Structure 1
Amino acid sequence: MPAERDLVVEDADSGFCGAVVACDKEAVTLEDRFGKRRLFPLDPAAFLLDGKIVTLVRPAAATAETHRRSASGSIAVEGLRARVARQSRIYVEGVHDAALVERIWGHDLRVEGVVVEYLEGVDDLPEIVEEFAPEPGRRLGVLVDHLVPGSKESRIAARVTSPDVLVVGHPFIDIWQAVKPSSVGIPAWPDVPRGVPWKEGVIAALGWRMAPADAWRRILGSVSSFADLEPELLGRVEELIDFVTEAP
């Protein structure tokens, strides 16, 4: 289905519904009825049109994009001077998560004045939230790994009830899996037997003779834009940025 301007579709993953306002060879921009815009990669079978699954493609008559885009796909702000940091924050689980978010959304975060910090795990998340003392104008967004029903992470997240905190997550065991295998140059992320440390198990299964830190550098080095990441992560980070920058 050509992504013609004003075509109304729904992103199948996030449920975001809006009209097409722009489209280039990699992504489409949708605007909802409140004027909020979101960028989505042109992945196969990623949208719903009148309840039916469709694949959006760039219209044949589309003109070349004249604006430079950031790694997240947003229009880059030329001559950017970082905005003074907001009181609101985004917390992620670990240093790898923070590095990946910076790689893709660093430009956007500096435009908005949002600082990303890492927690080294979420076991103490309720206490961390209490110490942060969220309130309107001082919001907290938290990105959690492996946030699936019945997981330890889901039980911890359920204990956070402040309206000024948004806890979202992706289904991957580790942030490594949020990078598309094709971008890394592998057919798929291997299954690791229960009881085997996940990173070490992945490295062994792939036949990489390197330490986890070196493996991560290889993975991160394969990421240059949002198109290298899975939609399950893209949507959640965009959701957090919207939440912490929303006017009280």
Structure 2
Amino acid sequence: MQPFAEDARQDPSAADSRWERIAPGVLRRRLPQWDATVGAVAGDSGTLLVDTGSSLREGAGIRADVAALLGSRVTRIVLTHPHFDHVFGTAVFSGAQVYAAVGVRELLARGTEALRDDAVAHGLLEDEAGEAADVLVRPHHPVSGQLTLDLGGREVVLVNVGPAHTEHDLAVLVPGSPDVVFCGDLVEESGAPQAGADAHLSRWPAALDRLLALGGEEAVYVPGHGALVDAAFVRKQRDELARRSAPQSGQRGT
């Protein structure tokens, strides 16, 4: 693994221009190239990061931004699903505890070649993809139902809502004014939801019903790709997925 040194002090205004403030202490960034979302939730005892980007270099940039904007280290990481553009930056966050849906640890233990190959197929440089795959951190904490984490002065709720976009989908609720729901790729705004070989299309609408029950009508929903959306958008996407899955109920993928 290429050594990524702890980040030098940088101008917070430069980092601030890359991040969107959703609620007090709740930020997100749309990363370049694949427009994937990463989120940051600040607590008194550290920062929780939602997803980590598509490479170690991208993860290091996220780490530097969090230090500049929030003045804290990332102590916890939530992986919404095991696709390269959401997990390949994890290894740069030394000492962070990693949470993911139950089954992700076992999936990664069987090998990361498929993730590496998918990253290269989507345009990540082969050496960067190989480097990230070789050191990819397996989650320390599997989430099978619902888990509440205390960040110090604020709680977040992790909810296993899959399978849907993948075999292993996790959502994050940050209660507040407004409530914020990080959806991973269960919701996409910048394009149609992507249903690959590991998707469960027929079960996806029910997962979005669970998201809506989790956040309610007034929440801000943060998609895995694209702009912030509301409950009406999630409901519309749920209905579109139900129509897509109707002719092939019981089948996976598209």
Superposition TM-score, scaled by structure 2 size: 0.28
More strand by share: 2
Superposition TM-score, scaled by structure 1 size: 0.28
Larger Cα-atom Rg? 1
